[in-house]
């Protein structure tokens, strides 16, 4: 780990000593001998951690720390205060000024290195979210400039693992000052059970239990999916320093030494709770803003912006998979008349149900996006012309043969759809060009009387070519592609929304909320499609159908 450490101390030999220790552990070391220099270097060189002396002439360590934490550019950098003072009041003051830890001189090497490594690791996680926040900012949605110090630390849910009740009672009493909801347990086993049932903001683990090793519990909590990101505060004694260092290595966030000073406990708990809440906020802001930016709020489908980027990736993948891609451009017939006759509310009802039906009739890894208005695009990877045409006919039937439920006097309204299709097998084709091929056919389908599918190079898909589920499955098997869900039984992974879900304001901005689209996992994360590809999309050289087009 070649993390960058900024060492700040007014006594040069102290600086040199720490520099030597850290360099021998392969850290990059920056140094400063006064507060103003430290602030300048921190802002310019973005260290991963600052080791800060408290007693300095002029600007002391507390002030430097406060300034670092109040500057958006440096607020996320962990600060460890280092001092000869051992008074608990100073430790608390350091923590309240935003320091992540407080170490006493002379420095215990093991404690120092474990602390530095653990804080650097934590920072990496936060950094990742900060990078994503920056990306999301480019979409112009996220609020910026927040930092962990602005989070509330009150009313946290804390789990205390401690076999001596007089110790846990002291914790409960102390944390009551912040209105924390504290649950004490006597063993690791009980802790594991409770942590599966509750969302804790912090777990404290005693390293001095009679019957068990608290480190074992720390390790378990770290590796468990549900508790992995819950901060852990170890409680130990001076002579446990080696084990505390080990605990920090395996992922505990902090520790406190017995006899526990109440103010220090409170300060350390607050620091951890704030940091957890900050990280959670970064994550949810990020997801929210991406969803806003990349999905269509009415239908929950991805929007044109996402389609363009993601379709580009799928196209680039043709070179590797050597399997053609189907592009369908779908446009609801005479939609303007619907809007003009019944109003936009009814139009919107139809758009939503239309989107749901399309998603239900496609495979989990097909991509559906709303281009705009009443125009939709479906991208069908790993398909061939015969199956793609069948898919297109199925979509057309599923729209035209079943009326939509709408809030008009009749309650039902039938709409049809025109579809233009293209099979793309050229990895060098541009996104716009690929879409245009399908769009040209859509235009033809409209001109030719609507309610039909036309494919580039093949012309109109004749309804009499339509196959039943069984025939289509046979065809798909012969062609080595995955068939769409059967007509009589749409895939229930994409069951339509319940009215309750639909009315939830929250849902409309989440891509996967769309219920209708289990296939559309996180926009920038790996999609089901990516997974399917890596799993079984390897081209079969024996299969003569790979690039063959039907006659
Ligand atoms: Mg000093």
- Measure 56 CA to ligand 1 centroid, in angstroms: 5
CATH topology of domain 145-294: Rossmann fold (3.40.50)
* Cα–Cα distance for residue pair 246/233, rounded to 1 Å: 13
| 366 secondary structure, DSSP code | -
- For the chain, residues classed under CATH 3.30.70.270 are 300-499
Q: What integer is the mean pLDDT of 50-63?
A: 94
Q: Which of 249-258, 269-278, 441-450 has the highest mean pLDDT?
A: 441-450
494 has a pLDDT exceeding 60: no
pLDDT for res 154: 87
pLDDT for res 143: 56
CB-facing half-sphere around the CA of 8: CA atoms within 13 A? 32
SS3 409: coil
pLDDT for res 317: 80
Q: What integer is the mean pLDDT of 97-126?
A: 82
The predicted model scores a pTM of 0.57
441 has a pLDDT exceeding 90: yes
Residue 464 to residues 124, 414, 458, 523: CA-CA distances in angstroms? 60, 22, 15, 38
- Measure 148 CA to ligand 1 centroid, in angstroms: 27
CATH topology of domain 1-107: Rossmann fold (3.40.50)
Look at the block and give the residue holding tokens 């000073």.
261
pLDDT for res 306: 84
- Measure 52 CA to ligand 1 centroid, in angstroms: 9
CATH code that applies to domain 300-499: 3.30.70.270
Residue 439 corresponds to which tokens in the numbers above? 């769009």
pLDDT for res 528: 38
| CA-angle at 107, arms to 101 and 108, nearest 5° | 95
pLDDT tens for each residue of 4-50: 999 999 999 989 999 999 998 888 999 999 999 999 999 999 999 99
Instruction: Decide which of 77 and 502 is more confident.
Output: 77
What share of the chain in percent tops pLDDT 90? Answer: 51
- Measure 8 CA to ligand 1 centroid, in angstroms: 9
Active site residues: 374
Strands 157-161 and 202-206, by their bridges, are parallel
DSSP string, 76-109: TS-EEEEES---HHHHHHHHHTT-SEEEESSPPH
Q: What integer is the mean pLDDT of 383-405?
A: 93
pLDDT for res 541: 35
pLDDT for res 6: 97
Instruction: Decide which of 143 and 228 is more confident.
Output: 228
- For the chain, residues classed under CATH 3.40.50.2300 are 1-107, 145-294
pLDDT for res 496: 37
Q: What integer is the mean pLDDT of 527-536?
A: 37
**For all residues of the chain together, what is the average pLDDT?**
83
524 has a pLDDT exceeding 70: no
């Amino acid at each position: 780990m070649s993390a960058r450490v900024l060492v700040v101390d007014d006594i040069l030999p102290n600086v040199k000593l720490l520099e030597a220790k850290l360099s021998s552990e392969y850290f990059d070391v920056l140094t400063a001998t006064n507060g103003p220099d430290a602030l300048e270097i921190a802002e310019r060189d973005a260290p991963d951690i600052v080791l800060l002396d408290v007693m300095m002439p002029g600007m002391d360590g507390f002030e430097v720390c406060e300034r670092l934490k109040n500057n958006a550019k440096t607020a996320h950098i962990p600060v460890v205060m280092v001092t000869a003072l051992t008074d608990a009041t100073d430790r608390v003051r350091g923590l309240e000024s935003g320091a992540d830890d407080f170490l006493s001189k002379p420095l215990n090497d093991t404690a120092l290195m474990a602390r530095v490594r653990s804080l650097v690791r934590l920072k990496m996680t936060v950094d990742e979210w900060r990078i994503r926040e920056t990306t999301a900012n480019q979409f112009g949605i996220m609020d910026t400039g927040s930092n962990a110090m602005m989070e509330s630390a009150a009313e946290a849910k804390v789990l205390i693992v401690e076999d001596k009740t007089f110790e846990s009672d002291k914790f409960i009493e102390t944390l009551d000052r912040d209105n924390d909801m504290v649950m004490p347990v006597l063993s690791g086993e009980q802790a594991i059970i409770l942590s599966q049932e509750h969302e804790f903001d912090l777990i404290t683990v005693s390293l001095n239990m009679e019957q068990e090793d608290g480190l074992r519990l720390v390790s378990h909590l770290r590796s468990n999916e549900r508790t992995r990101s819950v901060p852990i505060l170890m409680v130990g004694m001076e002579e446990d320093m080696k084990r505390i260092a080990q605990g920090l290595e395996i992922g505990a966030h902090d520790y406190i030494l017995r006899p526990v000073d109440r103010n220090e406990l409170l300060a350390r708990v607050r620091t951890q709770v704030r940091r957890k809440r900050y990280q959670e906020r970064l994550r949810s802001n990020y997801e929210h803003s991406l969803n806003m930016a990349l999905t269509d709020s009415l239908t929950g489908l991805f929007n044109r912006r996402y389609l363009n980027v993601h379709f580009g990736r799928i196209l680039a993948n043709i070179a590797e998979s050597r399997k053609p891609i189907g592009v369908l451009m779908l446009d609801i017939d005479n939609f303007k008349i619907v809007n003009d006759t019944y109003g936009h509310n009814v139009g919107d009802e139809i758009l939503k149900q239309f989107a749901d039906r399309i998603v239900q009739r496609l495979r989990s890894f097909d991509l559906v996006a709303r281009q705009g208005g009443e125009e939709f695009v479906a991208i069908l990877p790993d398909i061939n012309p015969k199956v793609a045409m069948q898919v297109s006919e199925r979509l057309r039937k599923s729209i035209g043969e079943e009326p939509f439920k709408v809030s008009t006097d009749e309650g039902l309204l039938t709409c049809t759809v025109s579809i233009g299709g293209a099979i793309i097998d050229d990895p060098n084709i541009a996104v716009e060009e690929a879409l245009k091929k399908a769009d040209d056919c859509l235009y033809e389908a409209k001109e030719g009387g609507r309610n039909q599918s036309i494919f580039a190079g093949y012309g109109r898909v004749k309804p009499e070519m339509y196959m039943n589920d069984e025939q289509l499955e046979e065809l798909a098997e012969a062609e080595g592609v995955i068939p769409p869900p059967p007509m009589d039984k749409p895939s229930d992974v994409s069951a339509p929304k319940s009215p309750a879900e639909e009315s939830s304001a929250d849902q409309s901005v989440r891509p996967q909320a769309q219920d209708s689209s289990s296939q559309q996992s996180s926009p920038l994360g790996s999609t089901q499609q990516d997974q399917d590809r890596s799993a079984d999309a390897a081209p079969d050289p024996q299969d003569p159908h790979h690039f063959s087009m039907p006659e």
